Amino acid sequence: MSTTSYDVVVIGAGFAGIIAARDLSVQGNSVLLLEARDRVGGRTWTADGLGRQLEYGGTYVHWTQPNMWQELQRHNIPLQIPTVPTTMYWIAQGTTHSGSPEEYGAALEPLMSRFFADARAVFPQPFDITLVDTSAVETETIADRFAALDLPPYEHDLLDGAMAGLVTDYREHGVAQFLSCVATYFGSWAAFFETAGTWPIEGGTKRLVDAIMAESKAEVRLSTPVAAVEDDGVGVTVTTRAGEQIRARAAVVALPLNTLGDIAFTPDVPAAARIMIDEKNPIMGSKIWVRAKGELEPFQAVAPLGQNPINAARVEYHADGDTFIMCLCANSADIDATDVAAVQRALRDFVPDLEVLETACHDWVSDEFAKGGFMLHRPGHFTNGAAQLREAHGRIHFAGSDIAGVEAGAIEGAMDTGAHAARTITAHLRCDHAAPVGVAAGQRPASG
């Protein structure tokens, strides 16, 4: 069994992993970046579809996000100006309603304001979760908060529809992460929703991924899933599924929460983190791209859970004489993304004469290296298990949007955790005057 040695091994080449690998490698450290897929990018993926380049995973960013904006400015990459909807459609009490975005927003505003009224009180400084006692809010599900509002059916469905594209089951998601996200944006739910779903990167996420990778000096190995990570107090041993053992002074594990259970950690992670890994991220939604016939009026549509398999849809752009629509489904099992007729039926609940020509989708739920969508924590995990994983676990450091303290579930959160892991490891390596970690007999350790 061969053994090689590096200063740092980074596991996972999503945004958290590539930022960590780039930042560590340009500091002069020998870095190996391991990725289970045959590509980098993780749960962001710009690829062919519907005759164009589509974003199959994470897409939206914002100039208020410090890590993201710094990278975009650094690489001279602009944002793409979004298509502005002229009509809103929303389903409530089984009926489709329509109006201007301003009319819809006026009806939704007081409901959202009530739902998020305590966001700043619970998270007065969202970057520091230790300032207040969050134990009460961490036991609360989104369903609990809906029940406490005691809204009439129409208003309940109006609020439900506005949030349904971001959830799978209100009974499984805690409210704490949502409150933190809104508190991050000054307590404004509208500001948070804009950052979460409006502005794509011109040229796609791949353009930024490629720019970061071009700067990186890390060695990259694709199609290399990891089976185990062990910290023996002197260094870290990473074992691939193929049985190769790689030795390093430190490791960064930058993987989706739902895949961490496939890796054996020695010593095991702290108790609350282990519970979070075992209970998993409950987001099981899907994103479907639709090419509709003709140049349709720009619209946005929402539906409460259970009243349409497509819970959010929006015209993203017009091209080649047709309309390209992005759809979000709370539960991917509710609709077959490849069934053009089924997708058309769902969209015709909003726009009766809409004709779907073709669809495109990547199933992140069945994807072995994702096993679900972006993060929306279960009750109790956001300020407990995730916070534990953000702390150094000996020489093992975790990163990724799933455990981010600020902007959890977003590309910005992934970037922030990757950069933080790199800074922490760099400081530790500077203080580490030990001899190079052990390697197999006769094996010369990597310089760094």
pLDDT of the residue at 2: 53
What token pair was written down for 408?
A: 């959890």
**DSSP-derived secondary structure letter, 445:** P
**Three-class SS of residue 322?**
strand
- pLDDT tens digits in sequence order for the chain, 448 residues long: 456 899 999 999 999 999 999 999 999 999 999 999 999 999 999 999 999 999 999 999 999 999 999 999 999 999 999 999 999 999 999 999 999 999 999 999 999 999 999 999 999 999 999 898 999 999 999 999 999 999 999 999 999 999 999 999 999 999 999 999 999 999 999 999 999 999 999 999 999 999 999 999 999 999 999 999 999 999 999 999 999 999 999 999 999 999 999 999 999 999 999 999 999 999 999 999 999 999 999 999 999 999 999 999 999 999 999 999 999 999 999 999 999 999 999 999 999 999 999 999 999 999 999 999 999 999 999 999 999 999 999 999 999 999 999 999 999 999 999 999 999 999 999 887 544 554 433 333 343 3
Residue of 197, 201, 202 whose CA lies nearest to 314? 197
Six-digit token string for 203: 């040229």
Number of H helices, E strands in the chain: 15, 17
DSSP string of 374-398, one letter each residue: S--PPTTTTTTHHHHHHS-BTTEEE
8 Å CB contact between 204 and 47: no
Longest dimension (CA), the chain: 74
Q: Which residues have C-beta within 8 Å of that of residue 314, sequence separation ≥ 6?
A: 83, 85, 299, 300, 301, 325, 326
Residues facing residue 315 across a β-bridge: 325
**98 to each of 91, 205, 257, 309, 351, how far by Cα in Å?**
9, 33, 38, 19, 10
Residues 6+ apart with CB under 8 A from 300: 85, 87, 88, 89, 101, 312, 313, 314, 315
Report the DSSP pairing between strands 245-253 and 3-11: parallel
Q: What is the pLDDT of residue 212?
A: 98
For residue 66, count other CB atoms closer than 10 A to its CB. Answer: 14
Closest by CA to 60, choosing from 166, 140, 139, 132, is 166
CA distance 92 to 97: 7
Output the CA–CA distances (angstroms, integers) from residue 344 to 90, 338, 359, in the order listed.
Answer: 17, 11, 10
Cα dihedral 424, 417, 446, 439 in deg (nearest 10): 80
